[in-house]
A and B are shown apart, each in its own frame.
Chain A
Amino acid sequence: MVKKINQIITLILGTKLMMWAVPDSKRFIKGIAITVVAILLVVYFHGEYLRWAELSGNTTYLSISYIIKNLIILISLIILFIYLKKTKKKVYPKVKGEEKIYTKNANEDYFDKFRDKEKLRTKAEQILEKDEKEK
């Protein structure tokens, strides 16, 4: 029992770690999952139709049903491909009331210079640096 709980915790932590390391993995998993569900549904409904056609003896649309089934699967795969290829626009997390801090001259882009900096200096480091320059 405890081992099972441990396995579940490891699985959850592993998934969290993967989502954190590769943020797009969420989008990838979502796309694949939706496509798989769509394909499975198509296969299921086509199977149902085949059984009905076999029992009723009505095979008028049998060949068309195969074409439609394969077309839907193909379209699903194309949509998945486009969805995964499309790059998502970089959106930074918003803070409640954030718009109040911006002015005409300083907007969200203002923070880009700090995002791109390799190492940020704390107040103490800035003072030390200033002192060294003055010497």
Chain B
Amino acid sequence: MGTLTELLKKAPQSVKDKYKIKIREKAIERVKEKIVKHNKKLEDYSDDEMEAMIAEAENGLNEDVRTTVLTALLIGAGIEIVAGG
């Protein structure tokens, strides 16, 4: 996991920004889904509550991305080993 974080730190700023925007948008989408599911309105939440919900969704998404990248890397390495052998 540490290597992945190091790798992300080395990525160009533009890529990092695009990643952040994408993840933030996805997090907002998840929060909207959650609000719809609970039959609530935007006004039922304070700004701080909304911020916390989006932040938590964002953290969850980052975890998902890390898991997916690691899985993809492991699959890639597996294919390489099979092809090499």
B residues touching A (Cβ–Cβ < 8 Å)? 15, 18, 21-22, 24-25, 28-29, 32-33, 35-36, 39-43, 47-48, 50-52, 54-56, 58-59, 72, 76, 79-80, 82-83
Q: Mark A108-129, 1 if CB is under 8 A from B, else 0.
A: 0011011101001111011000
Could you tell me how many residues of chain A have their Cβ less than 8 Å away from some Cβ of chain B?
32
**Chief secondary structure at chain B's binding surface:** helix
What's the count of A-B pairs with C-beta under 8 Å?
Answer: 80
Question: Is A2 part of the contact surface with B, judged by Cβ < 8 Å?
Answer: yes
Q: Please, could you name 19 A-B residue pairs with CB atoms under 8 Å apart, sorted by A? A: A5-B79, A6-B76, A9-B79, A13-B72, A20-B18, A92-B28, A93-B29, A95-B29, A95-B33, A95-B36, A101-B32, A101-B35, A103-B43, A106-B41, A111-B28, A114-B51, A114-B54, A121-B55, A126-B48
Once A2-B82, A98-B36, A123-B56 are accepted as A-B contacts, the answer to whether A21 and B50 lie under 8 Å apart by CB is no
Contact B24 A114 (CB under 8 A): yes
CB <8 Å contact, A123 and B52 = yes
* C-alpha spacing A96/B36, complex, angstroms: 8
Interface residues of A (CB under 8 A from B): 2-3, 5-6, 9, 13, 20-21, 92-93, 95-98, 100-103, 105-106, 110-111, 113-115, 117, 120-123, 125-126
Chain A residues near B15 (CB, 8 Å)? 21
Bound-state Cα–Cα, A44 to B50, Å: 59
Q: Apart from A103-B41, A106-B42, A110-B42, what 15 extra A-B contacts exist at CB < 8 Å?
A: A2-B79, A2-B82, A6-B79, A21-B15, A96-B36, A101-B32, A101-B40, A101-B41, A101-B42, A105-B43, A117-B51, A120-B55, A121-B48, A123-B56, A126-B48
